Amino acid sequence: MFDGGAGSNLRTLIFDLHKRFIFKGYEPQRELPELKLHYCEFLENWKITKEIAENYGVGLVKQRSIVSEKIAFKMLDPDGNLTGYFSFNHKEKEAGKNKWFFPRNFKRTLWNAAAVKGFKSLVVVCNPFEALCLIQKGLLNTVCLIGKSLG
């Protein structure tokens, strides 16, 4: 957790984290799809409300897609523009299999950075579901480090 000291600027910290963990403007070869994200039992079991899931761009993908039947998270740049999706296979039970799916050329990133504004502190976690739970409890200044080694 970051606690802004005298003269610190949370927005500066977020952009610093953004520079360290985010790719340098990957340009997709084709237009990004606008996936329809649906509230589902998996999110309900995490005690994540439908409102939070909708507001933060998280849900089950039912349409035909490479992330079909997975829980997808919208990735936004610091200005709030859609840059892609990463997803979690909530049905994967076999040990040793990667439950997380990242698009081609995916680099490390900071999920929810675009939503953090005007706070004196920042909570950084490594699990986006935990981030959503903290956001739901009122810690709106929560971000999640996302990378290919996400467990």
Asked if residue 132 is part of any domain, the answer here is yes
Asked if residue 6 is part of any domain, the answer here is yes
Asked if residue 100 is part of any domain, the answer here is yes
Asked if residue 151 is part of any domain, the answer here is no
Asked if residue 21 is part of any domain, the answer here is yes
Q: Is 28's pLDDT higher than 60?
A: no
Asked if residue 69 is part of any domain, the answer here is yes
For residue 44, the model assigns a pLDDT of 95
Q: What's the mean per-residue pLDDT of the chain?
A: 80
For residue 31, the model assigns a pLDDT of 73
Global pTM exceeds 0.85: no
CATH number of the domain encompassing residue 74: 3.90.980
Cross-sheet strand order for the sheet of 142-146: 2-3, 121-125, 142-146, 109-111
Comparing 74 with 78, the larger pLDDT belongs to: 74
β-bridge mates for residue 144, sequence order: 111, 125
Asked if residue 10 is part of any domain, the answer here is yes
Q: Domain count of the chain?
A: 1
Residue 66 in tokens:
């490479």
List the domain range (segments joined by +) for residue 53. Answer: 2-25+33-146
In a 3-state reduction of DSSP, which class is residue 123?
strand
